[in-house]
A and B are shown apart, each in its own frame.
Chain A
């Protein structure tokens, strides 16, 4: 029981983190039609910034806030200097150019922070276990991640659905030329959206940082999960990204936690312990394959065009 609740919450927390990453990716793709592989690099930069600023200021929260601002600025600079020139070009060009950016970021991090990873220690008040149900404790920090990510998701929803900028973003996603023709400063809007996506990726990175180590290439594997989520949820759909992210986070976490035991009941011990790690890392890809067979356009496509 204890283990089930704990793994369930872990899955939720992982899924929410994935959502923060996937939301930025799907926004940028939906509005600017840009495939950004370097999104994972922004996630990594968020973590490195947070570790550095937290060490400077001595405060985790202050460091995190500064890191958030820094990734926002970095995203805007990146958009203005490089990615802006890629809009309207072939997707293959996007893939190659942002692939080049990944190489650049990984190497720049190695140059500035060195090849060894960093640690981002938590303040004492975030490390205490919190009772959530009678007799069941859960780490405060992981709870904090869930709360913050849910808040951000809510703000994102309200921002996109209820504000003027959100309206422009939605309009941009459904018809780019038209909102330009209506006199909206589309360049500025693009820069803002990219900055927002970068900040979301940075937030995901800095929140994950205390749980895992901060290291080069940390954004690459999780970026591929974000791709899987976008494929499952449907490109350009924030709602789809949210649901798919929770789904993928749950399946991945619960699969890793419980699949070995389940297999052991069916197969012999040796066979199960060989097959389990491979099979549990395959689970979400199998899920993606099933979704593709049933609904190739994703479960919740943003069919507004």
Chain B
């Protein structure tokens, strides 16, 4: 019981911090922290979506950054063609991600385990190369988005605080959705498939169909993160989908605690703050980050949530 309260307390503290952050930023005049945390929240959203298939579904996707790119390019390409309305851009971003997830998922789910890791990685890399080949939309150099998505007066994405709260609302919405999914009959089947696929199949569940639906839901959620990210940076380029970004997302999920509701958010906050901090200390921050990851894998089972749980129990 006490173990629950420690991780719950830390989570609540973090969430309260995220909600109150713009207030602090306004009072202290520190605009940078607001921009930084907008990015953190968007990537936390992407990590949460990855956690749905990785933590709860046992599908180790190493190509999740592809959806960041697809969502981003949907916004960027429509903006380039003169369609600035967010009411068109966002649904298109979500639909494009869902269709990509459907095709890639249907192919990748024919395999399992390490094959699945390699194949999702390879398809994401394919998306990267396709984006690099889009000469009309900037190719390798990427695409500048001159106007953020326009929600005709409902919400102004150009306003930092409004945009921050939009991202935060999306994050909370997605986590609420994941919570509902995980505790639904559908979610229980998917989690059952993670533990023992053969047994679930023997009971009579069409395993691949359940996994595919879960895969598509996760991809669509990540597409939303992509659309937000493109609006945040006013820019989208193939680099968004580079495979190291998929690796970063995986690290966030593991770091925070796979298969926990708020673990990925915690992981994203810690990972990106650590990256920011180390890059201020030394230009060669990855020299520390790399071995740190190795150590976390070797000794930190269950991520931050796991450690907090043990600390509470100990």
Contacts and interface: CB of A to CB of B under 8 A. Distances in A.
Contact of B119 (A85, A95, A108, A288): A288
10 contacts: A99-B244, A104-B290, A107-B287, A111-B284, A227-B122, A277-B132, A278-B130, A279-B133, A285-B122, A293-B110
B243 A224 contact: yes
A231 interface: yes
Contacts of B126: 281-282, 285
A278 B129 contact: yes
A246 B164 CA distance: 51
B88 interface: no
Interface size class of A (residues with CB under 8 A): 35 or more
A100 B115 contact: no
A296 interface: yes
Interface of A: 29, 35, 82, 85-86, 91-93, 95-97, 99-108, 110-111, 220-221, 224, 227-228, 230-231, 235, 273-274, 277-279, 281-282, 285, 288-289, 292-293, 296-297
Provide the main secondary structure of the chain A interface. Answer: helix
Provide the main secondary structure of the chain B interface. Answer: helix
Given A278-B130, A285-B126, A91 B286 contact: no
Contacts, number: 128
Nearest to B123: A285
Given A95-B250, A100-B291, A107 B133 contact: no
Nearest to B255: A96
B200 interface: no
A92 B254 contact: yes
B312 interface: no
B60 A282 contact: no
B135 interface: yes
B60 A92 contact: yes
Nearest to A111: B284
Interface stretch (B91-99, B151-159, B167-175, B292-300): B292-300
B130 A100 contact: no
A285 B123 CA distance: 7
Given A91-B117, A103-B286, A96 B243 contact: no
A186 B300 CA distance: 27
Given A281-B130, A285-B126, A103 B289 contact: yes
A282 B130 contact: yes
A277 B131 CA distance: 10
B60 A104 contact: no
A274 B119 CA distance: 26
A190 B134 CA distance: 45
B114 interface: yes
Contacts of B121: 224, 227
A85 B291 CA distance: 14
B297 A93 contact: yes
A105 to B, nearest CB: 8
The residue in B110, B130, B247, B297 that gathers the most chain A C-beta atoms within 10 A of its C-beta is B297
Nearest to A110: B284
A268 to B, nearest CB: 15
B297 A100 contact: yes
A297 B110 CA distance: 9
A29 B286 contact: no
B247 A99 contact: yes
A220 B290 contact: no
A96 B250 contact: yes
Interface in B94-140: 107-108, 110-111, 113-115, 117-119, 121-123, 125-126, 129-130, 132-136
B298 A104 contact: no
A144 B254 CA distance: 45
Contacts of A293: 107, 110
B60 A91 contact: yes
B130 A99 contact: no
B251 interface: yes
A35 B291 contact: no
The residue in B113, B250, B285, B287 that gathers the most chain A C-beta atoms within 10 A of its C-beta is B287
Contacts of B244: 99, 102, 220
